[in-house]
Amino acid sequence: MKQNTTAANKAKRHIQLQVPADVYKEFRAFCLDEDTNMRAKALQLIEEYTYEKSKSKKKVFLEMSKAEIETLYGEATSKAIKEHHAAGRFTTHGDEKGVYRLYPDGRKEYIEGYPEGNKGG
């Protein structure tokens, strides 16, 4: 028999836990001291834990400072360069001498640039 799967049914999920007896007794005692329902307290703890984990896991890009964004981009760029070198491909960089290809073995090969008047097509 197919069960009804409406949005109201999907809003909540039931979980069943097998809790060691000593932990159960301690938790029950704490809830009695706080005059709190055990299920309500367990749900509160799950919600707080989930909120903290999701908050620390990702930060909204628009809420980041300039320094955080630069750090994020820098880490992503370094990772991409390492992946390219690990795959045996060169990456292109620039310094005061000009533009160069950096090969996985550390070798630099400078690229001949176009004269100022001949750029573009």
> Is the entire prediction scored with pTM above 0.85?
no
Residue 101 to residues 82, 96, 110, Cα–Cα distance (Å): 14, 14, 6
Cβ atoms of 51 and 64 closer than 8 Å: no
Q: What is the pLDDT of residues 72-95, one digit of tens each?
A: 899 999 999 999 999 999 999 999
Q: Domain boundaries in the chain?
A: 17-57, 61-118
Q: What is the pLDDT of residues 14-73, one digit of tens each?
A: 888 888 999 889 988 988 888 888 888 888 888 888 887 776 656 677 778 899 889 989
